[in-house]
Amino acid sequence: MGKPLIGVTPQYDLEQERLWIRPNYVEAVEAAGGIPLVLPLLEDYADIETLAQRCDGFLFSGGPDVHPSLFGEETMQYCGVIDERRDRLEIQLMHEAVRLDKPVLGICRGIQLFNVALGGTLYQDIPAQMDGIPIAHSQQRPYTVPVHKVSVEPESPLSRITGETELTVNSMHHQAVRDLAPPLRCAARAKDGLVECVYYPGKKFFLGVQWHPEYLWQKHQVHQKIFTAFVNASKS
């Protein structure tokens, strides 16, 4: 097989009404040996099924908050911008990808979306809802610099991919996984206990990371390994 085709979920600028994506997502896929394809915000389920069949893997990019109603909560005052069309597309696309056992990598919003789509819940805002060590989960720029550590669960896919027991990561999130969805397992945690990486046991490749490896892969090889493992899994 040639290079795998990796569907990348898009950002949508609600004010400017523009689809867009930060180039570092597509560059990371390209550098790992895949052909990135930025997806449209499709609404028709049959079309989403077709998309799921045609692509070899899917990268769920970062973005706005997942709507709290999708995990059974009212919107609290500190919830950020939401995008219902993106929520719908990504939830349907993830379910199709899981059904077809196509590789998925979720980044930031991606890990949160996976958890909600599979029946878990989120912290709508970490500082407002969590006590404990005040780790910089919403770091200042530059985002290419790691700011906190995560401990990697032995026996997890993240452990196999990186060969590490601890990683240093960047962190640009104010939401996070709260109750883990029933089929998912934690693959890495921050020192305050927050889930920073999840996987779906038994799937070919299903990984969600709370940090942003697309900002790190060029200088920190360990984070490039995540993209390489994802793209390689999409080849078979």
Q: Which is nearer to Mn ion, 23 or 134 (CB)?
A: 134
170 binds Mn ion (CB under 5 A): no
Contacts of 15 (CB under 8 A, 6+ apart): none
79 is catalytic: no
Residue whose structure tokens are 């999708």: 70
Dihedrals φ, ψ of 125, to 5°?
A: -160, 120
Closest CA relative to residue 230, chosen from 31, 10, 18, 16:
31
Selecting among 173, 212, 220, 223, the annotated active-site residue is 212
Distance between CA 90 and CA 203 in Å, rounded?
18
Interface segment toward Mn ion; rule CB under 5 A; list 13-21, 32-40, 79-87, 135-143: 135-143
9 binds Mn ion (CB under 5 A): no
Selecting among 90, 108, 197, 223, the annotated active-site residue is 108
Which two tokens mark 128?
């407002």
Dihedrals φ, ψ of 56, to 5°?
A: -95, -20
Q: Select from 24, 170, 171, 234 the one that contacts Mn ion (CB under 5 A).
A: 171
Dihedrals φ, ψ of 206, to 5°?
A: -140, 105
55 is catalytic: no
Closest CA relative to residue 223, chosen from 148, 170, 153:
170
Q: Which is nearer to Mn ion, 190 or 233 (CB)?
A: 190
Q: Select from 137, 178, 223, 225 the one that contacts Mn ion (CB under 5 A).
A: 137
Q: Which is nearer to Mn ion, 92 or 139 (CB)?
A: 139
214 is catalytic: yes
Q: Which is nearer to Mn ion, 11 or 171 (CB)?
A: 171
Which residue number places its CB atom closest to Mn ion?
171
Interface segment toward Mn ion; rule CB under 5 A; list 77-85, 114-122, 136-144, 199-207: 136-144
